[in-house]
């Protein structure tokens, strides 16, 4: 079955760069889109962006171009880099598979805290 | 961006009761791209409904969705103990895709 697993540092300093990787198993990754979605503690979900294995991406304008998504098809991994982070970027970050039938598979999520 | 407003914020009900959750969009959303998710503490969201009314794989038939245009709803016909959670609607019709703020269904 499809599984996704986030990895990366749990603590990032203000003004630094948040870097996360999602490893996909059980899927060919050639179809569908691959998403990053975050959730500040106690708050609602916010879509960050998605990427296709072709490299085509779409990101949330609210992040003001701070987010970069990339794909390593040989490793079945996709990644997120978020620059110039502040405390407002503290959240649980989920990677997830998007389809025409909704976001149907999610990673367990990883908490990233922005603090000095 | 399309803003989704969910109501009520909290629904206090007993097991066996019927729950009706509302999701109102600031602009028309294609019913093909409206989904509902359930989230429990410490867990990722779980897809319940997509295309407004189609249950995802393994979702029991006590969950149903309906609506069109700007008004959508999720109904749980008879609440079971496992259903007490937070529910989010999502539109992925227009970018950026957006989520509602959630409705918490709690035990009365």
Using the beta-carbon criterion (under 8 Å), do B56 and A45 form an inter-chain contact?
no
Q: Tokens 């269904």 correspond to what residue?
A: B105
Cα three-residue angle B80-A3-A75, rounded to 5 degrees:
165
Residue of A nearest to B6 (CA): A44
For residue A96, the chain B residues in CB contact (below 8 A) are 44
* Residue A88 DSSP symbol: G
Q: CB–CB of B2/B25 below 8 Å?
A: yes
CA A30 from chain centre, in angstroms, equals 18
pLDDT for residue A90 is more than 90: yes
- Kindly tell me the burial class for residue A55, based on how many C-beta atoms sit within 10 Å of its own C-beta (0-12, 13-18, 19 or more): exposed
Using the beta-carbon criterion (under 8 Å), do B54 and A101 form an inter-chain contact?
yes
pLDDT for residue B16 is more than 90: yes
A79 falls in which pLDDT band (50, 70, 90)?
very high
pLDDT for residue B20 is more than 90: yes
- Kindly tell me the burial class for residue A86, based on how many C-beta atoms sit within 10 Å of its own C-beta (0-12, 13-18, 19 or more): exposed
Q: Cα separation of A34 and A25, whole Å?
A: 13
Q: Cα separation of A68 and A59, whole Å?
A: 8
Give the pLDDT of residue A28: 79
Name beta bridge partners: A58. A50
pLDDT for residue A94 is more than 90: yes
The pLDDT tens digits of the residues spanning A13-66 come to 999 999 999 999 998 788 899 999 999 999 999 999 999 988 899 999 999 899
Q: Cα separation of A98 and A108, whole Å?
A: 15
Using the beta-carbon criterion (under 8 Å), do B88 and A45 form an inter-chain contact?
yes
B88 falls in which pLDDT band (50, 70, 90)?
very high
């Amino acid at each position: 079955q499809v599984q996704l697993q986030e990895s990366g540092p749990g603590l990032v300093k203000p003004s630094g760069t948040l870097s996360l990787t999602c490893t996909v198993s059980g899927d060919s990754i050639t179809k569908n889109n691959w998403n990053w979605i975050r959730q500040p503690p106690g708050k609602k979900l916010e879509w960050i962006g998605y990427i296709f294995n072709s490299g085509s991406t779409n990101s949330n304008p609210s992040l003001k171009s701070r987010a970069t998504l990339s794909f390593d098809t040989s490793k079945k991994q996709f990644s997120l880099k978020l620059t110039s982070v502040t405390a407002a970027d503290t959240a649980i970050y989920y990677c997830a598979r998007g389809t025409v039938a909704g976001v149907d598979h999610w990673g367990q999520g990883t908490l990233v805290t922005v603090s000095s | 961006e399309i803003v989704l407003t969910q109501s009520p914020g909290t629904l206090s009900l007993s097991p066996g009761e019927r729950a009706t959750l509302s999701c109102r969009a600031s602009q028309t959303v294609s019913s093909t791209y409206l989904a509902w998710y359930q989230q429990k503490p410490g867990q990722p969201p779980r897809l319940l409904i997509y295309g407004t009314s189609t249950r995802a794989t393994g979702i029991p038939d006590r969950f149903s969705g309906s609506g069109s245009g700007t008004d959508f709803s999720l109904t749980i016909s008879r609440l079971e103990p496992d259903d007490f959670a937070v529910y989010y609607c999502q539109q992925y019709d227009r970018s950026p895709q957006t989520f509602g703020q959630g409705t918490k269904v709690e035990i009365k």
